[in-house]
Chains A and B, each alone.
Chain A
Amino acid sequence: MARMKFLCDADRCIECNACVTACKNEHEVPWGINRRRVVTLNDGKPGERSVSMACMHCTDAPCAAVCPVNCFYTTADAVVLHSKDICIGCGYCFYACPFGAPQYPRVGNFGSRGKMDKCTYCSGGPEADFSVAEYEKYGSNRLAEGKLPLCAEMCSTKALLAGDGEMIAEIYKQRVVKRGYGSGAWGWKTAYRETVAI
Chain B
Amino acid sequence: MKAFAAAVIAAIALGVLAMYALTSNQTFAYQAFATSGTRVSEPGINLVGPKWNGMPVVGEANDAAHGKAEGEASHPKRS
A-side interface residues toward B, CB under 8 Å?
A: 25-26, 28-34, 103-109, 111-113, 129-132, 135-136, 140
Residue in contact with A108 in the complex, picked from B19, B27, B54, B75, CB distance below 8 Å: B27
CB–CB B29/A112 < 8 A: no
B-side interface residues toward A, CB under 8 Å?
A: 19, 22-23, 25-34, 43-48, 52-54, 69, 73-78
The complex places the Cα of A113 from the Cα of B33 at a distance, in Å, of: 14
User: What is the interface of chain B mostly: helix, strand, loop, or mixed?
Assistant: loop
CB–CB B53/A30 < 8 A: no
CB–CB B54/A31 < 8 A: no
Distance between A50 CB and nearest chain B CB, rounded to angstroms:
18
CB–CB B22/A30 < 8 A: no
Residue in contact with B46 in the complex, picked from A29, A111, A130, CB distance below 8 Å: A29
CB–CB B74/A32 < 8 A: no
**Given A109-B22, A111-B22, A136-B52; A25-B29 close (CB under 8 Å):** no
